[in-house]
Each structure stands twice: as structure tokens, then as C-alpha cells.
Structure 1
């Protein structure tokens, strides 16, 4: 369990939330474990909020306010602490990626965000938001590129990616954009020892993740978590039995995929195919 530490409560909204939660808890004479039991979570979870290591949750903040008799104090602080540059439904998962020791992703139709080029990300964003102003599109792209810099960190997580073969063939942004993206994917897979990429071929047939994108995050000091995403929504899953089911399904997808070496050859071949098509148009 994270030990109480001295925070500057004015450093940022999350630190202020953590400091206030700790103040209210101690005023009530409760330990982290005792408070957690009364709001149906672990004392470790309470400790993460107090240490400003996790983004507070609005539903939990409401329960804490009611239990601690703090009106809507923690709920209001929660709204401030949850502000993020990424979509609200993805914000918690984006933060967890920063703390993860390893990340395992499955993508059925597109290259995962951490390995996207700017042009590819822009084409995907424009397809998802066809009526948005260009400035909004650029903000999304800039944020996604910032997320990709996680792999440049000295403490970068191990990233294991399984991509369905369809993602190599669906043309996003035109053949030139696809050729650039797949060449970049091949380069990252070959040059970064902490990035492992496998392609799940069409011949693998049906599997549990056939119509979804899944990100599994593993931590040195906390249980794993899962994030699933669709076009306009996503869900963070932390329920242990369900997380275990996702992990088992991912293991099956990984076992059915081509080896990293064979996958790399297939990615390079697909990049050449898009390059040829781009020259013909």
C-alpha cells in the first residue's frame, strides 16, 4: 500500500484532492484500509488517490463525500483533477500506460496509437470526426504523438502488440500514408528491443478479440488492468476475474499469431505493396 507522503497540495488539482482526502480521512479517525472497506475498495486504492498517483473517480468521490460528511467537496475537486487533453473515456487508461511495466495490445483494424505516424493518426482522426474543425483534428493528433513519446522514456514499458492482418491492408489516408506507417511500424519493431510485434493472419479464423481493440497493462506494484475501445467510447476494466479472462484471451491470440520474425517480413511486404500502389496512382 502506498505510504502517506508529504504532498504540496497546491502543486496540481490531483495533489490537492489527495491531500484533502487524507485530511478528511484522518479527521474521521480512519485508516486507509478502514475507509476502503466502507466504500467497497481496497486501502491500497485509497492510498493511490492520497499519493496523487491515480486520477480520482467521480462515483467514488461521491461515496467518500457522503461517508466523510464533506458535502460535495471531493466531487468538485474530482472534476478539476480529471481534466485531461485526451478523451474523457480514455484518460484513466492513458495515465495507467505511463505507469505500466508492460503493455500488451491487440488491434483488429488499425495500427495501435503508440506506434502511429503523424499522417496516419491524422487520417484516422479525420475519419472518426469528419465534421470537426481542422484545429480540433490537429489537437487530437498532437496529443497522440505526445503519447507515443512514452516509448522514448528510459523507463519505457515493454510493448507487445498483436495486429490483425487486416490492419496492414485497410488503406488509411491513401497508399502513401500506409506505406509510411507500415515502414515505421517495421522499423520500430526491429530497432526497439522492448517492442514486440506479431501479426494475426486471416488464416487464424475467429478469436475472442475479433471485433475489438484491447490494451492490457501490467504493473510492478498493482494488479493488471484492461482497456477496451470502440469508435467513440472506451472502458477501463479492473475487476480481477474479468481481467484474467482478457489476459487468457490475449494469450490465445498471441499463440495464434505469426512469429515476430515472420510478422516483420509480412509488414515489410505490405509496406512495399502500398508503395507500389502509391506510385501507380
Structure 2
């Protein structure tokens, strides 16, 4: 019989349930491969859950309960793990935040602001202050620092996702920060593109109707889990894993990519806009 190891109740909630999962799996005499067999997930995904690095999706929790005969234990505690906060990010963003760390490919459409992973500190600060006008300076800086920390993803040579960002032209022409800060924000896009960390595309203002006009979405695919879609509004967000909806969003994103300008043309526009801001010219004269 497997002897149960003491589980430290003071550790984080994801760590606690990860250790509990490992103990129950080993008590049942199952390998990682055997436990995920018949699910849509890989053994690396389950291993990360056992080490407290990832949170267990509901469908995997149900699968684990069924295989281990744990009478719904992990399904019941999925919400406990989901509610365990990891820093100053919005609660609704937690699942997407975790997922982007493990994504093989991230494809994003952002029509109204530069995506969080691409933002500079002044740009992020302006957005945080506009969304949380009553927040203290300390709270604002905590949120800004947390957002900038996500960008370390682009410096991880061991795991760096393919990142595709489709942006609306208005992001280049309608500044929300001072001209020198807008130039620095655009330079950040250029720098990441030059390092082959991202591929940007621009949807021009005058292209007529196009897919996903009223939605901001992130499409994430993984080597060991089903794809996810994340959609966001000002104070809410939703992570979608329903296969039919994922396919529908996926097709819409591909059609949007066809509407956008080529990466080379888009990069030239971004560089030109950055120079305009540096030289005091109006960015809307790009055309």
C-alpha cells in the first residue's frame, strides 16, 4: 500500500490539490500516461497540475474523478483552485494568464488597445488609470508591473510561443499617451518583430466590414491540451473551450487575417508612425 505523504496545508491552493492528485494517482498505481488516457490532455499537462503550475480544467477533473473513483472530489474543488488569486490581475483573466505561459501559439486580435504582452509601462499605466480611476498609485504600479512581467515570455528561449497580433490601424493614429511615449510603444512592436518574437498585421481603417469587428479575442493552442479562446470587454472576460465555438472563432480569425495587410506592409506602417510621433507630425497622415 502506498503510504500517504503529509500535505502542507499552508501551501498554495493549486499546490495543495496538485499534491493531492499525485498522491491519489500513485495510490491507484497509475502512471501519468494511464491517468490521462481517454482524455484530450497530455501527461505533461497533468504533471504541471501535480506540481501546482497549472490549474485543472473541469473536463479533466471529471475524467480524473471517474478514473480514480474519487466521487467528484476534483470536480468539486476546481472552483477553489480557480479562485486562488495569483497577483493583481483580474480574476476573470486568471485562466488565460496561466494558459498563455504554456501555449504553443498565441493569435490575437486587438481592435482598441495594444495587447498586454506588447505594452510599455506608460501605455499600460494610462490604461490602468483610466479603468481604475480610484486606485492608489501603489495599486496602479502593481497592476502595471504584473502586466509587464507577462512579457518575459518573449525572453524564454526554452518555451516561446509563436505570437501573431492583428491590430487595427486606429492604434497607430489615435494616441492615448504623449507623442514620445507613443513612439516608444510602437518601437516596442518593431523591436519584438525584429527579434522574431511576434508577427504583427494591421487592419486598415477603410477596409469596410470585417470579421470580429466587435470582439477582442486571443486564440491559444497547446501541444498537450485542447485550444482555448479568450474574449474580453472592459471589466469582464470569458475563456471558451467548447469545440464548436472554438472552431467558429478560429475560422473568423483566419478570415480576419486575410483582410489585414501583410506583415511587411504592416511593419512599415508601424515604423512610419513611430517616426511621425518622434518628429511631431500627425500620425494620421500616414496614408
Shorter-chain TM-score tier: 0.7 to 0.9
Residue 18 (str. 1) matches residue 24 (str. 2): no
Matches within 5 A, 1:85-124: 85=87, 86-124=89-127
What is the TM-score of this pair, normalised by structure 2? 0.78
The aligned residue for residue 84 of structure 1 is 86
> Using the alignment, how far apart are the partners of 1:99 and 1:71 within structure 2?
22
Kindly state the Cα deviation for residue 209 of structure 1 after the two structures are TM-superposed: 1.6
What is the TM-score of this pair, normalised by structure 1? 0.80
The aligned residue for residue 162 of structure 2 is 158
Structure 1 portions without partners, runs of 5+: 1-5
Structure 1 residues 69, 218: closer, same or farther in 2, change over 3 A? closer
> Using the alignment, how far apart are the partners of 1:272 and 1:141 within structure 2?
26
Deviations for 1:136-156, whole angstroms, at most 9, x for unmatched residues?
A: 110000001100111010121
> Using the alignment, how far apart are the partners of 1:99 and 1:24 within structure 2?
25
Residue 245 (str. 1) matches residue 248 (str. 2): yes
Matches within 5 A, 1:1-281: 10=8, 12-21=12-21, 23=23, 42=39, 44=41, 48=46, 49-50=49-50, 52-56=52-56, 68=71, 74=77, 78=81, 82-85=84-87, 86-154=89-157, 155-189=159-193, 191-277=194-280
Let me know the Cα RMSD of the aligned residues.
Answer: 3.7
Is contact 2:210–2:259 with CA below 8 Å preserved after alignment?
Answer: no
> Using the alignment, how far apart are the partners of 2:99 and 2:229 within structure 1?
10
Structure 1 residues 235, 201: closer, same or farther in 2, change over 3 A? same
Structure 2 portions without partners, runs of 5+: 283-287
Kindly state the Cα deviation for residue 208 of structure 1 after the two structures are TM-superposed: 2.3
Deviations for 1:24-57, whole angstroms, at most 9, x for unmatched residues?
A: 6787999999999xxxx94749973446453146
Question: Tell me, what secondary structure is at the counterpart of 2:280?
Answer: helix
Structure 1 residues 79, 218: closer, same or farther in 2, change over 3 A? closer
Structure 1 residues 159, 60: closer, same or farther in 2, change over 3 A? closer
> Using the alignment, how far apart are the partners of 1:76 and 1:241 within structure 2?
24
Alignment: residue pair count? 268
Is contact 2:25–2:35 with CA below 8 Å preserved after alignment?
Answer: yes
Is contact 1:33–1:42 with CA below 8 Å preserved after alignment?
Answer: no
Structure 1 residues 235, 76: closer, same or farther in 2, change over 3 A? closer
Is contact 1:118–1:145 with CA below 8 Å preserved after alignment?
Answer: yes
> Using the alignment, how far apart are the partners of 1:182 and 1:32 within structure 2?
45
> Using the alignment, how far apart are the partners of 2:5 and 2:51 within structure 1?
7
